[in-house]
Amino acid sequence: MRQLYIGGAWTASVSGEAVEVVNPATEEIIDRVPAGAAGDVDAAVRAAGRAFPAWSALPPADRAKQLAAAAELLKQRADEVARIIATDMGSPFGFALKVQTLMPAGVLASYAQLAESHPRETRTGNSLVVKEPVGVVAAITPWNYPLHQIVAKVAPALAAGCTVVLKPSEVAPLAAYALADILHEVGLPPGVFNLVSGRGPVVGEAMAAHPGVDLVSFTGSTTAGRRVAALAADGVKRVALELGGKSANVILPDADLTAAVKAGVANCFVNAGQTCSAWTRMIVHRDQYDEAVRLAVEATAKYTVGDPFDEATRVGPLVSAAQRDRVVRYINRGQEEGARLVAGGTERPLPRGYYVEPTVFAAVEPGMTIEQEEIFGPVLSIIPYTTEDRAVEIANGTPYGLAGAVWAGTEERAVALARRLRTGQVAVNGGRFNPMAPFGGYKRSGIGRELGEHGLEEFFEVKSLQL
């Protein structure tokens, strides 16, 4: 069994218990990680607290050097790390390499640059306003992007001068161990980064409630985020929450329908639909609805389900049996409520592994469960509208506001509608994801932002010196 990483050393958990790591493509146990306990969390937070004064006092250039070295080492080990992610999480290997590994390496490198370039002082009248690292950060991360979500928290926290205690998801924790090895190898001082694996109700709650933690950065479900915020509130801790999504892909009548539908299907099914920002609701004008459904079904047929290491695979398994069962329940619920299944369904596409066929629903009406709730699987709902105002109303009509897309005949028209969406990020006519732009949500999709300068700002306190 693996160990915890606390105070710069690999350490056995006080619990002596383990969590089994399962390959979702084969249903076989591939590893075991410690089921950490509250005592482990206390040791890690204390180590981070001891390391904070010296780490925060380092010149930003010195912290930048270590982040840059970590980014370079991650790039060198990208193939190895991608294989880990494809194995314990199930992403197709090509996606695991390009998006799940090389993108985090790029994010690490970006914070090496921002550590030096981001201004820490400004003058306002007779005041000197300074930004200082918030302190000890508890980072709690999910399984769907098991390295990217870690780097999106750990890199800016370290760049700001904070120290970190990380709890990766127990479902797919192995990429976190690979990162810990890298940070140890580049010589990060003991206690600056700590890893405590284990279950959320034990380790995550102990981190959120610990009096030595100054900020909790959490990514996961809205339900779990509420719990984290409640625990943090008792100690008046700052929280940054990146939660669920039910993103809309709004296609206006003058858009390139074929391109918009093709891109929308791809976005919905990427990572087997296990993406919080996935465009799971395609909102199409009534006059183009039948054609959009036809195009979506045609595109879906090209999404081959299979082994993550098979080059023909476009959709790997869901991460666990529990996740597969959850998605199947939603597909059944959609049919029970009157939506029309036009592709996919609940039949097992392969004899073993937690697979679900890419699924498309037509005749979806606003308010249906599959239209309102985050499914977190490869399930697309296509919804008709008659007026632009109604399209906006439908798009904004869920409790979430994380991401979305707008397609129109001109960028000007698409941007005008994108400004009306109550969501943190909108792709305009297929605009690419930008890892330097702020990412985060409105409403129940969270509090705060990650990535780029806005992500760095989350880890500062602001002090005013009156001169």
Token pair recorded at residue 363: 């005749």
Angle formed at CA 56 by CA 53 and CA 60, multiple of 5 degrees: 155
- Of 170, 205, 276, 357, the active-site residue reads 276
Give the burial string for 206-217 (b: 16+ CB within 10 Å, else e).
bbbbbebbbbbb
On whether the pTM is more than 0.85, the answer is yes
pLDDT at 384: 98
Q: What number of residues does the chain have?
A: 467
Q: Rg of the chain's alpha carbons, rounded to an integer?
A: 22
At 171, list the tokens.
Answer: 């479902």
Catalytic position from the list 162, 170, 205, 242: 242
Q: Name residues whose C-beta falls within 8 Å of residue 11's C-beta, 6 or more positions apart in sequence.
A: 3, 4, 5, 40, 43
pLDDT tens across the length of the chain (467 residues):
899 999 999 999 999 999 999 999 999 999 999 999 999 999 999 999 999 999 999 999 999 999 999 999 999 999 999 999 999 999 999 999 999 999 999 999 999 999 999 999 999 999 999 999 999 999 999 999 999 999 999 999 999 999 999 999 999 999 999 999 999 999 999 999 999 999 999 999 999 999 999 999 999 999 999 999 999 999 999 999 999 999 999 999 999 999 999 999 999 999 999 999 999 999 999 999 999 999 999 999 999 999 999 999 999 999 999 999 999 999 999 999 999 999 999 999 999 999 999 999 999 999 999 999 999 999 999 999 999 999 999 999 999 999 999 999 999 999 999 999 999 999 999 999 999 999 999 999 999 999 999 999 999 999 999 99
Over the stretch 148-180, which tens digit does the pLDDT of each residue have? 999 999 999 999 999 999 999 999 999 999 999
Any catalytic annotation for residue 242?
Answer: yes
Q: What is the pLDDT of residue 1?
A: 84
